[in-house]
Amino acid sequence: MHFHHLLPWALPALVLATDCTPPSILPHISLPPGLVLLPSTITVSIVSNYSLPATATSPGHPSLTFCNITLSYTRTNRPSVPITLRFFLPTTPFFKSRFLATGGGGLSLTSGERSLYPGLVHGAATGTTDGGFRNLADVILHSEGRMDYDMLYSYAFNGIRELGRIGKALTLGFYGTEKVWMYFQGCSEGGREGLSMAQRFGREWDGVAAGAPAMRQAMLQVVHLFPLLVEQKHHYEGGPCELEEVDRGVIEGCDGADGRVDGVVSRSELCGSEIKGVVGRGFKCPARAGGPAVEGRVGELAVTVAEEILAGLKDGKGRRVYIPVRPGSGFADAAMTWNVTTSKWGAVAGGLGLQYVNLFLKEVQDRTLDLEGVTGDTLREWMLEGMKKFADTLQTNWPDLSEYRDHGGKVLHWHGEADGGISAGSSVVYLDAVRRTMYPGLGLREGFAKMDEWYRFFLIPGAGHCGPNPQQPNGPFPQDLFGTLIDWVEKGINPGRLNTTVLGGPLKGTQQELCGWPLRPLWKDGVLDCVYDQPAVESWLPELDSIPVPVY
């Protein structure tokens, strides 16, 4: 453990008016071999006294002053594709010898400048990269049938790795220091990027905060289509409003299983997928998504559809293909499309599921994907095809992090338990694969006890995809994950239980100390306890007996 690093007052003081200019910045831009700076693209500006409001993912700050830099470079094998980086560098003495790389969402490597502010709050030089594209879907095919593997690898890991290496050199040069702690923070696709760094370049990073990682994309992108198949099979024509009411019923039915009736499902494994009780609940929604205002009562068919979705994807032989969505997570992937010709809601493929199958598997530019004749077996075949095609890129589920651990790296991994876009179960399956791979001789509890020294996982009760969830407004959220990670990496303070705050609803402002996996929450007389319940933990690990190889 090397806790020694240069103290802030040992650094030369910056004068932004002279140090935050293109000629002053240029000498600090040092690119790894194979990359070429485009000097004319460098733009530099001083931002003074910026007031950052508190958000779900940052405590905010009243006055931030920083040097705002953008620059582009190319790779020697692709001189036509500029890759654009953006950095915010805080003033001294606010700078604390930290660099934070941040990640994107969906098929983008960047979340724009909003992802840079949470780093500044903690005195980190912070950066983001576009990897050479705005949206990978726009560039993944040279032409039909010809995948652009440079862009695929840029998205998979090269873009973020280059951001880290360039950002580290810039930070060391700009502040004239010899040590910088290297961090990554991201959620969804960003969470996947963080894991990709820990899995591949373990010696280059000290701390990774990975939320709801969009890993195992060969399965994840295809399973987005599964709820549509269920709706198609049952000729279901109810709209989003009815399924939302089903979700409310599921939440109400499961709420108390954790020992506290607060509108938050903190123990989704105690719900089961039997939800008959919601039949007959009234619902009412204004017009939206092209469809009309609706009012009605939940019917039997909506419940059948919801139960099949919650039960998860199976193949034609009844074997389990992939990890199901958690009860109480809503039915985002079941979203239907209003047909103006028939005036009915219908299941129409769209979004990432459609883009992935067309662009990444079939390598065609089609904007539609006909689901007629598509079954669970079809989805399984698509998954197996992608597992082979993208094993070293989009899967990002290599379970051995020894190099990262031995370098001293820490992982802070979290997932909203009510995430309707990426099942929280996806994270649990990976976590358990890491445990089994790295601690093969130990039992579940003993293995996690060892893993806790450097890899912690927290389910956020009631939270949705990368944020709080309006369906469970009393749920807590970790507003300052980066601060928690810094304390762990630099001061050796293991988060133990995770500090969170309820950010909305009647309990707004309440603090909660969340349980770290594999402990599970149980409220007793209004007090949150963390209990070890092995059957509950094992219920999060479905046997994917339809997939003929181990799924990490």
Closest distance of CB 265 from Ca ion, Å: 6
Closest distance of CB 306 from Ca ion, Å: 20
Q: Give dist(CA 73, CA 174) in Å, integer.
A: 19
Residue 148 interacts with Ca ion (CB under 5 A): yes or no: no
> Is-catalytic flag, 465?
yes
Catalytic residue among 188, 268, 426, 427, which?
188
Degrees to nearest 5, angle at CA 98 with 409 and 412: 35
Closest distance of CB 516 from Ca ion, Å: 19
Cβ distance to Ca ion smaller for residue 385 or 513:
513
Mutual angle of helices 226-233 and 376-389, in 10-degree steps: 160
Closest distance of CB 249 from Ca ion, Å: 15
Residue 417 interacts with Ca ion (CB under 5 A): yes or no: no
230: Cβ contacts below 8 Å, ≥ 6 apart: 236, 305, 308, 309, 334
> Is-catalytic flag, 142?
no
If we measure between CA atoms, which residue out of 167, 73, 56 comes closest to residue 117?
A: 56
Catalytic residue among 419, 427, 432, 546, which?
419
Cβ burial, residue 306 (10 Å; 0-12/13-18/19+): buried
- Interface mask toward Ca ion for 157-196; x: CB under 5 A: ----------------------------------------
Binding segment toward Ca ion, per CB under 5 A, in 158-166, 256-264, 329-337, 491-499: 256-264
Binding segment toward Ca ion, per CB under 5 A, in 99-107, 264-272, 302-310, 482-490: 264-272
Closest distance of CB 523 from Ca ion, Å: 7
Cβ distance to Ca ion smaller for residue 255 or 419:
255
Number of residues located near Ca ion, criterion CB under 5 A: 5
Cβ burial, residue 17 (10 Å; 0-12/13-18/19+): exposed
Cβ distance to Ca ion smaller for residue 219 or 264:
264
Instruction: Give 449-456 contacts, CB < 8 A, sequence gap 24+.
Output: 452/494, 452/516, 453/494, 454/405, 454/408, 454/409, 454/410, 454/411, 455/401, 455/405, 455/410, 455/411, 455/413, 455/431, 456/410, 456/411, 456/412, 456/413, 456/494, 456/495, 456/498, 456/516, 456/517
Q: Give dist(CA 184, CA 206) in Å, integer.
A: 9
Q: Give the residue, chosen from 130, 162, 242, 255, that forms a contact with Ca ion under the rule CB under 5 A.
A: 255
Q: Give the residue, chosen from 258, 315, 333, 432, that forms a contact with Ca ion under the rule CB under 5 A.
A: 258
Closest distance of CB 261 from Ca ion, Å: 6
Cβ distance to Ca ion smaller for residue 258 or 480:
258
Q: Which residues of 463-472 are buried (b: 16+ CB within 10 A; e: fewer)?
A: bbbbbbbebb
Closest distance of CB 328 from Ca ion, Å: 10
Cβ distance to Ca ion smaller for residue 90 or 468:
468
Closest distance of CB 496 from Ca ion, Å: 22
Residue 260 interacts with Ca ion (CB under 5 A): yes or no: yes
- Only one residue has tokens 């039960």, namely 311
Binding segment toward Ca ion, per CB under 5 A, in 22-30, 184-192, 259-267, 306-314: 259-267
In angstroms, the Cα distances linking 321 to 354, 362, 549 are: 19, 21, 12
Q: Give dist(CA 365, CA 358) in Å, integer.
A: 7
- Is the Cβ–Cβ distance between 464 and 330 less than 8 Å? yes
Binding segment toward Ca ion, per CB under 5 A, in 125-133, 247-255, 338-346, 395-403: 247-255
Residue 208 interacts with Ca ion (CB under 5 A): yes or no: no
Catalytic residue among 122, 224, 415, 465, which?
465
Residue 264 interacts with Ca ion (CB under 5 A): yes or no: yes
274: Cβ contacts below 8 Å, ≥ 6 apart: 307
Binding segment toward Ca ion, per CB under 5 A, in 53-61, 253-261, 351-359, 432-440: 253-261
Residues belonging to the active site: 188, 419, 465
Q: Which residues bind Ca ion (CB under 5 A)?
A: 255, 258, 260, 262, 264
